[in-house]
A and B are shown apart, each in its own frame.
Chain A
């Protein structure tokens, strides 16, 4: 098996641009009823946003997928922490990437991020992978 990536190595960037249908499916699958993810007039008129919001937890999943598809079977995701820095809206294309920031006998640690094309970082995270 190929060895795990070393410190400084970067995951291939994944571009994610969820559609209104993707946002609705995510809300429906989780029974997340908050209208800011599917009701455009409500979101603009009552919440003051320019459009539907891409769920924070969906961005968390994108970070996990970016990391897991790179690391593959070499190690198992054992923990992840993520936080949201700026809102992401329907129509935004998010570039999701990551870098190895730590490495030891047990596994690797990654820093992860999702950012808009124009540069605004919307979500950052840290993930720990442990060798199987």
Chain B
């Protein structure tokens, strides 16, 4: 008995508009402080330039910030009571989401002043029978590129709905 209906598959496989974000030195510093980074290349332009970058450089996995903005930077009336974006809630009986596997391939670094764009598409959708009922796995592929068209990162992220 499957829970993934045609409607649910169309929902997951819809067109996702490209999202672009101008990354500032403050965006980089916030993420770096939040994760306990202390290397001055994330905070101090001179240190970053001395290390061969054009400006302060983002820590590894900063692209997470870009993809969260892409889905959650919406008016408050487009959020669920738990704070998650309504657009991410699938038309499925299994609505509670949890993070599954994340796989990231690194490209060129992100530096302050870059405009990072993210393209998102459905990579895979399938279900399994869990201990407490069906589990639906939705795997999305994110491709991050900068203003020069260089690949910054490619990420596959699986969200599990139960």
Contact = CB atoms under 8 A, between A and B. Distances in A.
A80 B102 CA distance: 8
B60 A77 contact: yes
A25 B84 contact: no
B106 A84 contact: no
Interface string A14-42: 00100000100110111111111001001
B27 interface: yes
- Categorize the interface residue count of chain A: 35 or more
Interface stretch (B4-12, B63-71, B120-128, B142-150): B63-71
A32 B60 contact: no
Nearest to A69: B39
Contacts, number: 91
A77 B106 CA distance: 7
Contacts of B103: 79-81
A34 B83 contact: yes
A97 interface: no
B79 interface: yes
A11 B60 CA distance: 18
Nearest to A46: B82
A92 interface: no
A100 B111 CA distance: 30
B46 interface: no
Interface string B30-70: 11011111000000000000000000000111001100110
Contacts of A62: 35
Contacts of A9: none
B93 interface: no
B72 A33 contact: yes
B84 A29 contact: no
Nearest to B35: A61
Contacts of A25: 30, 33-34
A68 interface: yes
Interface stretch (A52-60, A101-109, A113-121): A52-60
Contacts of B98: 84
B105 interface: yes
B99 interface: yes
Interface string B108-124: 00000000000000000
6 contacts: A16-B36, A28-B30, A31-B65, A32-B68, A60-B61, A83-B102
Given A42-B82, A60-B64, A83-B101, 10 more contacts: A26-B35, A29-B65, A32-B68, A33-B79, A46-B81, A57-B102, A61-B35, A61-B60, A65-B35, A81-B102
Interface of A: 16, 22, 25-26, 28-36, 39, 42, 46-47, 56-58, 60-62, 64-65, 68, 76-84
